[in-house]
Structure 1
Amino acid sequence: MSNGDLAENLSVEQLASRVGMTVRTVRFYAGRGLIPAPRREGRHVFYGPDHIARLELVRELQAHGFTLAAIEGYLEKIPEDASPAQVALHRTLLAPWMPELPETLTRAQLVKRAGRELSDDDLDLLVALGIVEPTPTEDVFSVASAHLGVGVGLLEIGMPLEAAHEARRIFTDHGQQIAHDLTELFRTSVWPKMKESGQTEGATAIIERFKPLTIAALVTAYEQAVDEMKRETIRRRR
């Protein structure tokens, strides 16, 4: 029996071991519909590459702080008939584009890192900006440390809470659209060419090299748009 045959005929215990989860967790995700139903042969059920690919994607999303509801929403957008390779492509596209993994800090550690006292209102603003997220444990937070300095700066200039909520909505809406468009560009224009040439193993490297270019392009486009708005304002005043 080949390795391919083995991958097509995994028990739930073998599947759990393969993806680094417990059997209980795999069954929980199956019950939530995050993976398709297993193949049945009499009293036995078997899992295959499709289940492996989807559970590995779930694990990747979890590692980046996605909630269960967010994971379910993400997987709902992947067609049920997507091949394991297509599901794996989502992992390839996801990982290099995500920001650094969040840190878990107590309130005291967060205050020390911020370099100033943080009132409940201050924390509300940081949460609204998406820099700090509460956890189930009281006074313990998930923190995007790379952005904490920006958040503290906004606290110091007195940014209104309502404005922070609206700014996050704007960033999220436009960010999701850009991510969707770039993912589709890669899926339809780059990935097929890589498959034809047998170079799919280099997908992650290509995306990693493309990332800084994209960030620079977004910053430049934003700066140009702001400058154009300034020029338009001056023209109107004249």
Structure 2
Amino acid sequence: MAAQASIRFTRAVDYRIEELADAARTTVRNVRSYQERGLLPPPRREGRVAWYSEEHLARLRVIGMLLERGYSLGNIQEMIETWESGGDLRELLGFEVAVTSPFTDEIPATVGLPELNELFGTLDPIAIARAVELSLLKVDGGRFLVPSMRLLRVGAELHKLGIPLSALLDELAELRADVDRIARRFVRLVLVHVFDRASDTVPSPREAQRLADVVRRLRPLAGVVVDDALALALERHIRDGLGERLDRLLAQRSRAKSRESRPSGRR
């Protein structure tokens, strides 16, 4: 209990400019440049301190995403101006938040080595390095940032059932590759049949709001599809796997009884 009490969760807060730049994986210079060009709304000020919100972070992520796609700052500025002049800015911000927000509502936690050892037993450096490589853990000074405590606790439960930690980490790597393929196909389905049917021009605020609603609905819909498909597959494979092993055990028992009942050749 004492170890669990030292786990600290990190909630979203307002950002100073340095924190905002770090969260958006850009530079303070870029943030100021985007503000000067009108790409970024002005911050909220308290005295001499400027505070930025999640909407600013979403806007920066959209700008970064568009730059990576080959758009110039001029193109991006024109796109934003078109959205802003066509309707309510809240619709644009809603679209930005929808397409850049994480699909998980889990709050990252910070843990120390004692908490990890309590969950998994004494961890060796190789296991920790492998967990960091898989982004299950992130080094945070003398502690570790855990993006998903749910995933970590599931791993701990499976480890307690007797599955070696090395096997669990290898399976996690395979699982992520499988899930990535599923996610890519699902997103492509929506892009081809929903987004590509929209106008080829910059979407209007109303169209942006509709697309934002599609993005928001994508997560729960995809979750239902994957959960149900996984449940059916688990049911089938558990039945087949246990049935195969029971057949093998019964066959071994039958052979053993046959040997026991066989009369001895010599008296």
Distance in 1 separating the partners of 2:104 and 2:112: 24
User: 2:20–2:57: 8 Å Cα contact kept in structure 1?
Assistant: no
Offset at residue 20 of structure 1 (A): 4.0
CA distance in 2, matches of 1:81, 1:170: 35
What letter matches 1:159 in structure 2?
I
Query: Could you say if the C-alpha distance between residues 169 and 137 of structure 1 is closer, same or farther in structure 2, counting changes exceeding 3 Å?
Result: same
SS of the residue aligned with 2:137? strand
Seen in structure 2, the aligned counterparts of structure 1 residues 206 and 221 have a Cα distance that, compared at 3 Å, is: same
Aligned with 2:154 (options 150, 153, 158): 150
TM-score (norm 1): 0.54
Mapped partners of 1:232, 1:164: distance in 2: 22
Shift of residue 154, structure 1, vs aligned partner:
1.8
Question: Aligned equivalents of 1:231 and 1:145: distance in 2?
Answer: 30
- 1:211 alignment partner, SS class: helix
Q: Distance in 2 between matches of 1:54 and 1:213?
A: 23
Cα distance in structure 2, aligned partners of 1:222 and 1:199: 34
**Can you give the 5+ residue segments of structure 1 that lack an aligned partner in the other structure?**
1-15, 30-37, 39-45, 61-74
User: Are 2:123 and 1:120 equivalent residues in the alignment?
Assistant: yes
In the alignment, structure 1 residue 201 sits paired with structure 2 residue 205:
no
Conserved in 2, the CA contact under 8 Å of 1:103 and 1:145?
yes
- Counterpart of 1:161 in structure 2 is 165
What are the residue-to-residue correspondences of 1:85-164 with 2, within 5 Å? Answer: 92-98=98-104, 100-108=106-114, 110=115, 118-121=121-124, 124=127, 127=131, 132-138=136-142, 140-143=143-146, 144-164=148-168
| Aligned-pair Cα RMSD in Å | 5.1
Q: Which residue of 1 aligns with 2:69?
A: 79
Task: Tell me how far apart the structure 2 counterparts of residues 25 and 173 of structure 1 sit (CA, whole Å).
Answer: 32
Letter in 2 for 1:21: A
Alignment of 1:165-204 (within 5 A): 165-191=169-195, 192-193=197-198, 195=203, 198-204=206-212
Asked whether the 8 Å contact 2:139–2:145 carries over to 1, the reply is yes
**Given the alignment of the two structures, is residue 21 of structure 1 paired with residue 21 of structure 2, yes or no?**
yes
Shift of 1:95: 1.9
**Cα 1:94–1:54 shift into 2, 3 Å:** closer
Cα 1:47/1:221, change in 2 over 3 Å: same
* TM-score (ref. length: structure 2): 0.49
Query: Contact (CA 8 Å) 2:119, 2:153: kept in 1 or not?
Result: no
The count of aligned residue pairs is 189
